[in-house]
Structure 1
Amino acid sequence: MATPDTTFVLPEKRGPGGRRRLVSERTSGWRYLPFVVALALGVALRGLAMLGYRPALLFWADSYAYLESAAHPVPGEFRPLGYSLFLAALAPGPGLTLVTAVQHLLGLGLAVAVYALLVRRGLSRWAATALAAPLLYDEFLILLEHMIMADALFTVLAAGGVLVLLRRRITPAAAVTAGVLLSLAAVTRTIGVVVLALAAVWLPLRRGTGWRIWVTFTAAGLVPVLAYAGWMSATSGVFGLTRADGMFLWARTTTFADCSVIRPEARLAKLCPVTPVDDRPSPPFWLWATWSPMYKMRGDRNGPAGEFARAAILAQPGDYLAAVGEDLGSLLRWERTTSPAEARQRNPYWFPLEERPLKSSVRPIVEAYEGGPGATRIHEPYAGALRAYQRFGYLPFPLLVFALAGTLIAAAVRRRHDALLPGLTAAVLIPGFDIRYVVPAIPFACLAAGLTLRKDGTPETERSAGPSPR
């Protein structure tokens, strides 16, 4: 019977020495046992999610918007269409159950890919397993994989593109693959444009990469993004990935904007918050609530909102930096950012305790995709086991930030230039005013740490995992 991970021995190697080598190579498969066990536990956690919360978790209004766009794919105002096209590609079928299953498999596949690359770069299998563990066990990542949201897909696409660029040798086919993956990440979440730009700047600095590879990668990355922006222009008259960047920035300034200091033009004065600063709600409320000054605008809202926001930042730069710091401070806490009590108040970042019926306004959207009832149904004891795990099964964000800062410093000191691309990508993803904007940084931070910690003398290009020829 064939033995896994067995290497055939050439005839001249037979004999006592050859037999010892064959036994050694047969048992070498046990070296992967720590990661196999870790992977099995990661599969089990995702199994609890699939069994405990069926068919999926739905995030406020966003999930329904993605599902509606999957049925009618037209570039929208607030979100690029990449995730909706992914949903459309999985329909018709088993509905939301298939979506969550695919997202969980993609998350597991990413953990395997990170582990494999780190081992090939010279990191020990135990260390590679430890650095891949957050990808397998972090409750936030599992939660995002089980949600009908773009974040899990974006994470896999962006990380996949970065992993391809970290190969031993970048062929034209690899350059095209990386460019397409990063461009798909950009049309899934717009922050992907920044990741694509980082990769384009880093690639010429990579040893042994010629200008033809850079041109091939850049073209492969730009063509899909420009094609999508052209589609947006044809349907809305705006050339871009969304028509809401100005509105999002305006919402960020509403917590501190003082129009007596800003002195906006008359046409922008409607966007001035009138609520006292101490009583103002968080930015998302200003973006979505019907009482928001945004809804007093007629016609184009994005352009004026962006103008107001830039004027506010220039007039109150200190207040803007303080607001950004407050956002990070609210996220970067050692404890979970959500408590069980908050979960009962419909906070989406805790596996829910209670079933919540769908509102009549969104039920048809979900049921059309699901082909039947689509509200999340909770099944015990699986859901209870996952709720117990989520109290401790996560990487604290301060630890993530401290480790990333140390990694970037060490990478510069040790001249681990390959670690800079995932490290800087993680640094770009961390700032934000919502948890789910920070979580995708975890795989990149773990990858950067592993590349920085690899043994001295290990070449930056990927080495062969097999035995050296003798």
Structure 2
Amino acid sequence: MSAADDPARSPGERASSYPGRFLAVLGLHWPLWVVLGAATAMRVWFVSAYPYAFFFPDSGSYTLSAVNGYPNQIRPWGYSGLITPFLHQPYLRIAILQHVIGLAVIVAGYAFLRRRGVRPWLSGLAMLPFALDARVLTIEHFVLAETAYIAFTAAGLFLIAWRDKVGWIAAALGGLLLAAAALTRSVGLPILALAGVYLLIRRIGGLRLVAFAVPVVALLGGYMAWYHQHWGVYSTGQYQGRFLYARVMSIADCDRLKLTDEQRALCLPSPPSVPGAPSALVAPGVPSMPGTREDWRQRPDAFLWNSASPAYRLHPDAQDDPILQQFAIAVIKQQPGDYLALVAEQTGWHLRWRAPLNPGAECLATQWLPPPNPGDQCQARYYLPIQPGRSPAPNFLVDNPLAKALHAYGEWATTPGPLYAAGVVVALFAAVWRARRRPWRDAADALLFASAGFGLLIVSVATSLFDYRYAEPAVLFIPVGLALSATRIAALARTHPAARASKPAATAHPAAITHPRGTARPTAAAHPAATAHPAGTAHPAAIAHPAAADHPDPG
């Protein structure tokens, strides 16, 4: 019982201690208040500088799906459902809501790390990248699914890893949230698999695994049935094969590939270009760029949207997705080394201080930084009130010092790629270093979050393209894994054999029992029965058992 709860104290005395307790809690979690205050200030600054939400071509498809009220063939409908209440309001409210969600994620991440035994200063430091990263701030201002996806995924992972023993309610809610994330962005499906592996490693039991799986199956199955009702196919979308086709086209060596006639028609021997002028390599909302092979390699989305692409000309309908998928699988099977090299190379770009991007890919990358002149070339444009599904016209600010200052901030305030590499390496080291001297649990937690962040980088490159937009989940998850790994390593360092050997050997019983062979045999701890009998005779329990002489020493 604490002093404040002592019944001998008057109510007034107990009440007077509550402010002290509150101040003590505030003082204990000062890193959270510092990080949260800085994050709030940056988001207020952002909303003040940009009075409209930002638009990207994907934004139009999300709002159009929300208006239509049925699933989109390219992207899952989850985000469209979330923004439906905001369709007839200024879209800035969507951006403000997403900034608030970002703040909530920071609080939840800090609380989770403290729950898992991470020190307050390290918990706050782990939240700092997500709190202040300029790309995170910019993407929160877009009408895009990334912020909602990160929040759903983080909530689901925090929940299943929150307690030492996963309850069936936590397992069910975790599955529900991760399934919701997968229906917000399809890249969430691999995270569902990762969470399932994590729960198997934790050995949570069959009942809790069923509790996790039931909402996943119900939500995904219900969505697929709804999709079938509108499009006649049980699926969450019909562009996965098309995206994969675009991904492998830059390495497809059609001269030596074994393809059907239908598949061979999808080959593009050389990228089209117009001498002395930009080519038609234009993704929606992205300016033209030179049509060199390397440009097409860094911007494979051109194979989706460019009119010169065979897929665009020959198979423009969503129903043609299996044809494109079969072509992509044929390329990967026959050129596995080229495909793996491409994925490894461009995943490595995420781990560098600055990716070696050509002008076209660089143009896409700059859209995720705060724009000095919204609507200018290669900069985010405002989502002014327009008919859903249509692209807004470019719009410019004559002079906006706040936006220019934010752009200058964004030039350097982004999470460095080497931090991702360090997080993965440290998580692996923490898992294998002196693994037998500490329970596997905290290593599994660290690997869960590091794998979630780094795995999403790999999946996005392997199935779509290199884009800093797809790295934003790693800004949250890899630092969380890094903090958990550092805590485990510190705990293991404190249990070094030399440290244990330096402790006084106080385990021997004061009255060592004499071994039948005449040697003193220490016991692990003083047993109450080993004390002298009040009458001065030995307690019966202190007499050596006849079999004790032949029993191996447990020490």
TM-score past 0.5 threshold: yes
Aligned equivalent of 1:82: 78
1:224 equivalenced with 2:251 (yes/no): no
1:312 equivalenced with 2:339 (yes/no): no
Which AA in structure 2 matches 1:107?
G
SS at match of 2:234: coil
Which AA in structure 1 matches 2:479?
C
Root-mean-square deviation over aligned CA pairs: 3.3
TM-score (norm 2): 0.73
Aligned equivalent of 1:392: 412
1:72 equivalenced with 2:72 (yes/no): no
Which AA in structure 1 matches 2:482?
A
1:113 equivalenced with 2:113 (yes/no): no
SS at match of 1:401: helix
SS at match of 1:386: helix
User: Does structure 1 retain, via aligned residues, the 8 Å contact 2:52–2:382?
Assistant: no
User: Does structure 2 retain, via aligned residues, the 8 Å contact 1:255–1:323?
Assistant: no
Which AA in structure 1 matches 2:420?
L
| Aligned CA distance change for structure 1 residues 365 and 187 (closer, same or farther; 3 Å) | farther
| Aligned CA distance change for structure 1 residues 401 and 386 (closer, same or farther; 3 Å) | same
1:408 equivalenced with 2:428 (yes/no): yes
User: Does structure 2 retain, via aligned residues, the 8 Å contact 1:57–1:376?
Assistant: no
Aligned equivalent of 1:349: 368
Tell me the distance in 2 between the aligned counterparts of 1:313 and 1:131. Answer: 38
User: Does structure 1 retain, via aligned residues, the 8 Å contact 2:305–2:312?
Assistant: no
Tell me the distance in 2 between the aligned counterparts of 1:279 and 1:167. Answer: 45
State the Cα distance separating 1:30 from its structure 2 match: 1.5
Which AA in structure 2 matches 1:66?
Y
Aligned equivalent of 1:417: 444
Aligned equivalent of 1:465: none
Which AA in structure 2 matches 1:32?
H
Aligned counterpart in structure 2 of residue 332 of structure 1, from 337, 341, 351: 351
User: Does structure 2 retain, via aligned residues, the 8 Å contact 1:408–1:423?
Assistant: no
1:11 equivalenced with 2:2 (yes/no): no
Aligned equivalent of 1:430: 457
State the Cα distance separating 1:256 from its structure 2 match: 1.4
User: Does structure 1 retain, via aligned residues, the 8 Å contact 2:55–2:382?
Assistant: no
Structure 2 residue runs of 5 or longer lacking an equivalent are 272-291, 493-555
SS at match of 1:251: helix
Aligned equivalent of 1:166: 161
Tell me the distance in 2 between the aligned counterparts of 1:218 and 1:345. Answer: 38
Aligned equivalent of 1:240: 235
Tell me the distance in 1 between the aligned counterparts of 2:473 and 2:244. Answer: 21
Aligned counterpart in structure 2 of residue 181 of structure 1, from 177, 184, 201: 177
State the Cα distance separating 1:450 from its structure 2 match: 2.1
Tell me the distance in 1 between the aligned counterparts of 2:358 and 2:325. Answer: 35
State the Cα distance separating 1:221 from its structure 2 match: 1.4
| Aligned CA distance change for structure 1 residues 226 and 341 (closer, same or farther; 3 Å) | closer
| Aligned CA distance change for structure 1 residues 411 and 21 (closer, same or farther; 3 Å) | farther
User: Does structure 2 retain, via aligned residues, the 8 Å contact 1:144–1:151?
Assistant: yes
User: Does structure 2 retain, via aligned residues, the 8 Å contact 1:332–1:396?
Assistant: yes
| Aligned CA distance change for structure 1 residues 182 and 412 (closer, same or farther; 3 Å) | farther
Tell me the distance in 1 between the aligned counterparts of 2:233 and 2:3. Answer: 58
TM-score (norm 1): 0.85
User: Does structure 1 retain, via aligned residues, the 8 Å contact 2:304–2:312?
Assistant: no
| Deviation digits for residues 322-350 of structure 1 (CA, Å, limit 9, x no counterpart) | 22133224443213778999988894122
Tell me the distance in 1 between the aligned counterparts of 2:175 and 2:327. Answer: 35
| Aligned CA distance change for structure 1 residues 327 and 261 (closer, same or farther; 3 Å) | same
Structure with higher Rg: it is: 2
Tell me the distance in 2 between the aligned counterparts of 1:20 and 1:75. Answer: 57
Aligned counterpart in structure 1 of residue 139 of structure 2, from 141, 144, 164: 144
State the Cα distance separating 1:123 from its structure 2 match: 1.4
Per mean C-alpha deviation after superposition, the further-off stretch among 121-130 and 271-280 is 271-280
State the Cα distance separating 1:125 from its structure 2 match: 0.8
Aligned equivalent of 2:321: 302
Q: What is the 5 A alignment of 1:12-31?
A: 12=8, 25-28=21-24, 29-31=26-28
Tell me the distance in 1 between the aligned counterparts of 2:3 and 2:176. Answer: 36
| Deviation digits for residues 72-115 of structure 1 (CA, Å, limit 9, x no counterpart) | 122222211111111113344x4211101111111111111111
Q: How many residues align?
A: 443
| Aligned CA distance change for structure 1 residues 142 and 241 (closer, same or farther; 3 Å) | same
Which AA in structure 2 matches 1:449?
L
| Deviation digits for residues 447-466 of structure 1 (CA, Å, limit 9, x no counterpart) | 21222233638xxxxxxxxx
Structure 1 residue runs of 5 or longer lacking an equivalent are 1-5, 458-470
SS at match of 1:203: helix
SS at match of 2:252: coil
| Aligned CA distance change for structure 1 residues 7 and 147 (closer, same or farther; 3 Å) | farther
Identity of aligned residues (%): 29
Aligned counterpart in structure 2 of residue 267 of structure 1, from 262, 265, 268: 262
User: Does structure 2 retain, via aligned residues, the 8 Å contact 1:250–1:308?
Assistant: yes
SS at match of 2:29: helix
User: Does structure 1 retain, via aligned residues, the 8 Å contact 2:136–2:472?
Assistant: yes
Which AA in structure 1 matches 2:344?
G
User: Does structure 1 retain, via aligned residues, the 8 Å contact 2:145–2:184?
Assistant: yes
| Aligned CA distance change for structure 1 residues 336 and 21 (closer, same or farther; 3 Å) | farther
State the Cα distance separating 1:369 from its structure 2 match: 6.2
| Aligned CA distance change for structure 1 residues 150 and 130 (closer, same or farther; 3 Å) | same
User: Does structure 2 retain, via aligned residues, the 8 Å contact 1:67–1:365?
Assistant: no
Which AA in structure 1 matches 2:475?
I
User: Does structure 1 retain, via aligned residues, the 8 Å contact 2:55–2:383?
Assistant: no
User: Does structure 1 retain, via aligned residues, the 8 Å contact 2:183–2:220?
Assistant: yes
